Amino acid sequence: MRRNDGAAGLAGRGVTGVVLAAGAGTRLGLGPKALLPYRGRPLVEAIGQALLDGGCREVVVVLGAGAPEVEAAANLDSFRVVANAGWESGMGSSFLLGDRAADPADHLLIALVDQPGLTRETVERLLVRHQPGRITAAAYRRRDSGDGGGAALRRGHPLLIDASLREAVSATVTGDAGARSFLRSHPELVDEVDCSDQSSGEDVDTPDQLRLLH
């Protein structure tokens, strides 16, 4: 697995990427979003590879709905795969499973499987900008805002959680919220990094967002 040794803010620690890919994609009605076709391969492959190429030491892919079908259809040999039997309880359980699967000494980079605009450059930028004891979040401006780039940044994913904060963040994770509660309670610990030049940061949640796959 590729290790990132050049990011100034990582204090010599590795980074484990976690791809949250357990959802059933109910709103889309096309099966698990992990298997949506993206540039000639299942989306889960593209997202995991972006994390590796961007500098993550290892990538953990958390599957859930349709896990056997995803493992059969996608080439996940480059990643460590874990299955969340309780995926229906919400994204939080997948977050916690990924956290437990990661090396406890590593920083944690959380990514969503349904964000096709994620690039290696975005991952590299977060790793380079990360500061010890903090959370570094990709943020995006609406490209169609029509205001000449003046729209406020909107925090999104990926999310780089410092190793020293993993336990505190995980203690707040419940249901479908992931790290949201911790982020809202501790805004002073969050650094937002503008990644609007890489993508819109949108997820594929509805049929009209299938355009993001092209």
Which pTM does this prediction carry? 0.90
- The CATH number of whichever domain residue 88 belongs to comes to 3.90.550.10
Q: Helices 120-129 and 43-54 sit at what angle, rounded to 10 degrees?
A: 40
* 92 phi and psi angles, rounded to 5 deg: -55, -40
Contact 78, 56 (CB under 8 A): no
State how many domains the chain has.
1
| Residue 2 domain flag | no
| Residue 194 domain flag | yes
Spell out the long-range contacts of 80-84 with Cβ–Cβ below 8 A and sequence spacing 24 or more.
84/22
Q: How do the pLDDT tens digits run along the chain, 214 residues long?
A: 333 333 445 755 799 999 999 988 877 777 889 999 999 999 999 999 999 999 999 999 999 999 999 999 999 999 999 999 999 898 999 999 999 999 999 999 999 999 999 999 999 999 999 999 999 999 999 765 454 556 789 999 999 999 999 999 999 998 888 899 999 999 999 999 999 999 999 989 888 888 888 8
| Residue 4 domain flag | no
For 41, the domain range is 13-213
| Residue 6 domain flag | no
